[in-house]
Chain A
Amino acid sequence: MKITLKIWRQASQEAQKKGAKKGAFETYHLDDVHEDMSFLEMLDVLNEKLLHEGFEPVAFSHDCREGICGSCGVVINGRAHGPLQGVTTCQLHMRHLKNFTTLVIEPWRAKAFPVIQDLVVDRSAFDRILQAGGYISVNTGGVPDANGLPIGKHVADEAFVAASCIGCGACVAACPNASATLFVSAKVSHLALLPQGQPEKHHRVESILTAMDNEGFGNCSNAGACEYECPKGLSLKNIARLNREYFEAVFSASLEEHPTHAHHGKGDETMHTH
């Protein structure tokens, strides 16, 4: 296969401080792309070529290359993780792209995901959102026997589906508002479905949504692009569940036990429209 690549190249913050220009698309041609190559292996080939020619290789995130670590992710011809549904960028193979002679490759674009360099973005906002409450507060040791609390199979299975989010950020990249609502709703759903998640559920949904707002993500307007592009197939049902959890938290009396969480940010003035 012969492929033309138009790749967004952006200098690091350090280089920009020294006068490098911020960013631009660069065009590259590859003549010997094999159909069995993965998309990232095609980028490897490009980078080997650039290195040998004395040009700077393209920085892109990747690690496990089997669709589970969530490191990789670029926008290919306008689609997060490329044109194939239900897969991460690393699982995309060139035979899936043979109908395209030109590939336009960009980083995730969102205010909350600043570009570090080329196709690499800073997704630490996701870590901070989960630090705000994406867990059940148990210390190591002193917990009940694992079979002490039966959980219905369908509930456990539903919680597993929500918990399978890989934190890649495709939902944010696909969303017209760069909202992280699907990401947030996956964690809230996972924990709200389980009995172990009940004691902290009101506090959790409140603080996690506040953290999302503080990071500069947009709100949800039910466009549905996140669900369409999610490589793990997480559905909008999770967002419905998030809304229910949020309303319950706002209207429940238990909220008064946490007055500090009831008065915060934007959510205080107008209801969140997540």
Chain B
Amino acid sequence: MSKLMSKLNSNIPPGELKDKWNDQCFNFKLVNPANKRKFDIIIVGSGLAGSSAAASLAELGYNVTVFTHNDSPRRAHSIAAQGGINAAKNYQNDGDNVHRLYYDTIKGGDFRSREANVYRLAEVSAKIIDQCVAQGIPFARDYGGLLDNRSFGGAQVSRTFYAKGQTGQQLLLGAYGALNRQIKKKKVTAYSYHEMLELVLIDGKAAGVVVRDLRNGQIKSYSAHAVILATGGYSNIYYLSTSAKNCNATAIWRAYKKGALFANPCFTQIHPTCIPASGEYQSKLTLMSESLRNDGRVWVPKKKNDRRRPGEIPEGERDYFLERKYPSFGNLVPRDVAARNIKEMCDEGHGVGATGMAVYMDFQEALARLGEDEVESRYGNLFEMYELITGDDPYTTPMMIYPAAHYTMGGLWVDYNLMSNIDGLFVLGEANFSDHGANRLGASALMQGLADGYFVIPYTLGNYLSIKSKSGFQKPDAESPEFKKAEKDIQDKIQGLLSKKGQNSPDEIHRRLGKVMRDYVGMARNAGGLKKALKEIEVLKNEFNDNLKVFESGESLNESLEKAGRLGDFLELAELMALDALHREESCGGHFRTEYQTPEGEALRNDKKFSYVAAWEYTGPKKAPKLHPEKLVFTDIKPSTRSYK
């Protein structure tokens, strides 16, 4: 167990909010250019945060090693982000600035994010766009040749830069290009098919990692002066989510079990408009852009368990429930409100489709008002994708949609410098917790990943290494007993999994875990449900221990083994999520406790009691985790109630 700081220190620099980062950069200790090549850095993950950090650090002269479980760094799940990336450029002359982006982000996060980090994010946002354009990223442009913008939820300005519906792909390929350039220069060594299975500490400091080559099962140790985790979020705990199949929590969870604090694990974002599951075999869910709610009308049959086809249900027997409940915002209520209402209608028996877990999104009114050509020009590619997956034509049959887990705001606790409470362990991107509070705004995930990697870690890591090197800083030895023990522990763990000869495949148990999490730790939560979830998670843990089946092959590609290892970690994280959700007796952002709502059904925060980050410490198996609250202070904004009336 690492030596925990007696009190959480977020290391927020003093001074005015707008001066903090500038002052901090000036006060940072620097590493002499000739000395940078003496430092080795490990980065786990090759998405936007990992690749941008690896390239930027290598450009400065550090020696970087990158690990990804994918077959190429380019395949990290950042690639699938659709909508865009926010930046306070004010190119549209609509009154945007750094303070407004900061304000929107804090408010969108329902006042549960760390103010100083958010302000810095808004400050560096403009530089990200400059960097990406210089890399040749083909953002959308207008006819004069300048960059185009669009609007996104939670903002009244147009500050979102985009490349069709493939912004994440283009940004990641830009960072991957920068990474490739450093690989060519031999400043970065990248290992594909390598999964991190353990964080190794020596005297309480991050010393390196143990990884497994998925192709042949080899277990190897790598040491470094500092370790950076950029391994993404944990939405796959819900089994059905918009994440890629291989996204997992193993790296951050194993760091947690080595003493890193896990902050706000219950803050998850459920996206309201996804293509629903069509059957038990469903493996993941596909997002349908939020923009569809501009013209699609959401409805369910008034009669419960109505099995008629949508066309056979007359107008008078349809319930346009969002328009009914929220007359001023209608179908365009924010993500969390829409998602919760859709779930409620289905739970009450009004759901449609084969599983009853879907509602209609109907474009007949828009088709009549705008004509088919106009609807096609707005949504043609989305309609095509929908038809490819479901076989239904949205021009003639209403779409069916249902919410799905999409993003996790929670993650490992980090200070202002993005270092966890473990000395030398840094955490970037979705894997950390700091910037989005209880709800992330659209187009802000890409911004944060690249801000952390391009413009924060190159400064903060330099300062860390510079201070450390004053007291004789040696790279740990990967042959040391601590690494050997970690390797043996991992070998034993894998051997344990390979010998499991029970009845349930990892997917079967994971599906059941996903259902528990969706039902009780999803869009709406309450004490009774969360306690029930804790019991059911315990049952599933026992099932995992006693009745799991894994194919017995440790020296070649074996997906059942990979899944089993990740599932074991998800089962433990699920428990922490439920505990965190249970302890937070208020509603905020995506964390909606049904006991705490206004008479109008809106989230009811309790700032007096819960205006803090809940950072949890692992205390040992079968022991309750320990809570370390980090109080949130707002100097430049007054917490208020979000309202959509």
Contact = CB atoms under 8 A, between A and B. Distances in A.
A48 B559 CA distance: 11
A63 B133 contact: no
A12 B135 CA distance: 38
B454 A147 contact: no
B138 A159 contact: yes
A140 B458 CA distance: 10
A159 B166 CA distance: 13
Interface stretch (A148-156, A171-179, A243-251): A148-156
Q: Identify which of B176, B245, B505 gathers the most chain A CB atoms within 10 Å of its CB.
A: B245
Nearest to B57: A140
A135 B135 contact: yes
A113 to B, nearest CB: 11
Main secondary structure of the interface of A (DSSP, over half): loop
A191 B555 CA distance: 41
A256 interface: no
Nearest to B143: A153
B134 A144 contact: yes
B11 to A, nearest CB: 23
A51 B390 CA distance: 29
B509 to A, nearest CB: 12
A141 B505 contact: no
A175 B475 CA distance: 48
A151 B71 CA distance: 34
A146 interface: yes
Contacts of B137: 163
A87 B389 CA distance: 11
Nearest to B174: A135
A36 B454 CA distance: 42
Interface in B156-176: 163-164, 166, 169-170, 173, 176
Interface in B270-301: 278-279, 281-284, 286-287
Contacts of A57: 551, 558-560
B494 interface: no
A27 B454 CA distance: 50
B178 A140 contact: yes
Interface stretch (A124-132, A216-224, A234-242, A262-270): A124-132
Interface in B288-326: none
A3 interface: no
A107 interface: no
Contact of A117 (B176, B215, B244, B286): B215
A271 interface: no
Given A12-B555, A34-B281, A37-B279, A150 B138 contact: no
Contacts of A166: 169
A141 B127 contact: yes
Given A93-B388, A120-B557, A153-B142, A139 B59 contact: yes
A11 B283 contact: no
B79 A69 contact: yes
A68 interface: yes
Given A51-B549, A70-B75, A131-B183, A12 B215 contact: yes
B180 A71 contact: no
A24 interface: no
Interface in A2-39: 11-15, 34-38
B71 A131 contact: no
Nearest to B277: A36
Contacts of A63: 70, 75, 77, 244-246
B140 interface: yes
A188 B507 CA distance: 42
Nearest to B148: A153
Contacts of A1: none
Contacts of B138: 156-157, 159-160, 163, 190, 194
Given A37-B281, A124-B72, A140-B455, A153 B141 contact: yes
Interface in A50-101: 51-52, 56-57, 59, 61-66, 68-71, 87, 91, 93, 95
Contacts of A252: none
Contacts of A124: 71-72, 192
Given A35-B391, A93-B389, A159-B136, 17 more contacts: A12-B556, A34-B278, A36-B390, A45-B281, A48-B505, A51-B505, A57-B560, A61-B71, A65-B284, A69-B244, A87-B388, A123-B72, A134-B177, A135-B135, A135-B136, A138-B131, A146-B147
26 contacts: A13-B216, A44-B281, A44-B507, A47-B560, A59-B557, A64-B79, A69-B80, A116-B215, A116-B557, A117-B215, A127-B183, A137-B181, A138-B135, A143-B133, A146-B129, A147-B146, A152-B145, A153-B143, A153-B145, A156-B140, A156-B145, A163-B137, A166-B169, A190-B138, A196-B135, A196-B136
* Top 7 closest pairs, chain A to chain B, by CB: A150-B145, A135-B177, A143-B134, A12-B556, A160-B138, A36-B278, A146-B133
Interface of A: 11-15, 34-38, 40-41, 44-45, 47-48, 51-52, 56-57, 59, 61-66, 68-71, 87, 91, 93, 95, 116-118, 120, 122-124, 126-127, 130-132, 134-141, 143-147, 149-153, 156-157, 159-160, 163-164, 166-167, 190-191, 194, 196-197
